[in-house]
Amino acid sequence: MNALKALAQAEPTPYWLEDPARPEPLPSLVETTTCDLAVIGGGYTGLWTALMAKERDPSLDVVLVEADRVGGAASGRNGGFCAASLTHGLWNGMERWPDQMGELERLGKENLQGIADAVTRYGIDCEFEFTGELHVATEEWQLADLAEEAEHGIRLGHDLRLLDRDAVRAEVNSPTYLGGLWDRDGAAMLHPAKLAWGLRDACASLGVRIYERTPVTAISESRDGVWLRTSYGGVRARRVALGTGVFPPLLKRLKHYLVPVYDYALMTEPLSDAQLASLGWRNRQGIGDSANQFHYYRLTADNRILWGGYDAIYHFRNGLRHELESRPETFARLSSHFFRTYPQLEGLAFTHAWGGVIDTCSRFCAFYGTAFGGRLAYATGYTGLGVGATRFGADVILDNLGVGLAPGEVTPRLKLDMVRSKPLPFPPEPFRFGAIQLTRWSIARADANQGKRNLWLRTLDKLGLGFDS
């Protein structure tokens, strides 16, 4: 079948955001207000920060301001893989912080459980399913990597099962699968936008004042706090949490550390019982394949398949525009890969095709910091794995601001090397664009060449800048 035909009816909007459960936007801020803690950004980072601030100290007056709609950016349009990993996978963490990996993985598990508990506590209907994740090998060279990952992961106490070709196909039936590694408790699947909207409701229920369609246009230090200028007014806050993801940072120093990278996804129509039976997939795991350019895919509550990843597109000078959220060339590629993986689904159509921006930094997992003498704290740079890790980022922000802590108290989180260190900054343009394009080209070549990394990738690896999914 022509993979393009399957895209004929696809709406160019994020499937998740079209849901009838999407709440009406809350009013903009049209005055000047004061508060104890102002949170900028209504994605997961900002929402968790506001929510947990009230949990830590119910007496705090908390204001959250969002430029557009809560969950309208990455947080409402992602794959919904809620992973325990705080380091963008085991390898990335092992290479950077081998001595603290045990603690980082333990904190990651605790964080994932914290999300599950909050979903239950606040009655957030976000289709949360504790399914785990299946990493599949589609080329022989990937099998050894999975075996090595299993060895390290089991040593760190993870519930991992290495599957041979027959066993992985018995889980999910694709002629492309040669083996797999099932991480049984390392991830949950959820409806990303419903998580954001549910967190919005939970924040409001604890008394957080939320203003949507309220971009902060400037921030400055004042005598007794921080002043935020907004379109129709402003906020005087004692402390500020910055959760603005990849958007042009209000704090200028952050711009050297972040690049916007576009990631794309397709959603199918719901599968019939017979189509689902042809796959198996009884354990409903999220799936990721193991090349450097990888796909991620999963079932939804009504048995559609979300299919995303592979291409990661950077535009010159940090290009960030609404029209870049649609990329027909990538949609066509993703569709053809989908039917190569599941030929038995021929005839299935995609209902939605969309893209979103990832806040990429050179170490591939979030970094944290403060400004204005400790009155402002931020967490950003999740590089495509922030559904779970943003809650940990929010905890770091609150630790850095001292919310709910004794004066001078330093939490164990703040002592982690991961939290104390920063990624290497990106070079300025045009070197930035050139280096990213060369890296993409090299990664594609490595995948076509049994995973062998060329001189450029090996150099990046040595500098701690190499990405190996």
Ligand X SMILES: Cc1cc2nc3c(=O)[nH]c(=O)nc-3n(C[C@H](O)[C@H](O)[C@H](O)COP(=O)(O)OP(=O)(O)OC[C@H]3O[C@@H](n4cnc5c(N)ncnc54)[C@H](O)[C@@H]3O)c2cc1C
Contacting positions for ligand X (CB under 6 A): 40-46, 65-68, 72-75, 77-81, 83, 215-216, 243-245, 247, 250, 263, 265, 296, 308, 356-358, 382, 384-388, 390
Amino acid at 61: D
d(CA 116, CA 83): 12
Q: C-alpha angle with apex 306: 191 to 154, nearest 5 degrees?
A: 80
| Nearer residue to ligand X within complex by CB, 263 or 447 | 263
Rounded Cα–Cα distance for residues 69 and 47 (Å)? 12
**In this complex, which beta carbon is closest to ligand X, that of residue 179 or of residue 186?**
186
Which position has the token pair 């030929």?
A: 343
Could you tell me which of 391, 117, 452, 78 has the C-alpha nearest to residue 265?
78
Give the residue with the Cβ less far from ligand X, 83 or 160.
Answer: 83
Residue 380 CB, nearest distance to ligand X (Å)? 6
Q: Which is nearer to ligand X, 68 or 269 (CB)?
A: 68
182 versus 264: smaller Cβ distance to ligand X: 264
Nearer to ligand X, 178 or 235 (CB): 235
Looking at the Cβ atoms of 78 and 275, the one nearer to ligand X is: 78
Q: Return the SS3 of 275.
A: helix
Q: Are 281 and 459 in contact (CB under 8 A)?
A: no
Give me the least distance between CB of 298 and ligand X, in Å please.
Answer: 8
Cα–Cα nearest to 359, from 379, 377, 382, 391: 382
We find the least distance from the C-beta atom of residue 76 to ligand X, in angstroms, to be 7
> Which CB atom, from 311 or from 447, has the smaller least distance to ligand X?
311
Give the nearest distance from C-beta 401 to ligand X in angstroms. 17
Q: Shortest Cβ distance from residue 437 to ligand X (Å)?
A: 20
Query: Which residues have CB under 8 Å from 279's CB, separation 6+?
Result: 172, 173, 174, 271, 342, 344, 345
Q: Hunting for tokens 């535009």 — which residue is that?
A: 315
- In terms of CB distance, is 132 or 388 closer to ligand X? 388
Shortest distance (Å) from residue 291 CB to ligand X: 17
Q: Is the C-alpha dihedral spanning 16, 19, 23, 27 positive or negative?
A: positive
Distance spanning both ends of the chain, measured CA to CA: 30
At its nearest, how many Å lie between ligand X and the CB of residue 40?
5
Instruction: Report the C-alpha dihedral over residues 374, 377, 382, 388, rounded to 10 degrees.
Output: 120
Torsions phi, psi of 220, nearest 5?
Answer: -150, 155
Supply the minimum distance, in Å, between the C-beta of residue 74 and ligand X: 4
| 452-463 b/e (C-beta count within 10 Å ≥ 16 → b) | ebeebbeebeee
Cα distance between residue 125 and residue 377, in whole Å: 30
Angle formed at CA 170 by CA 167 and CA 171, multiple of 5 degrees: 95
Smallest distance, ligand X to C-beta of residue 7, A = 17
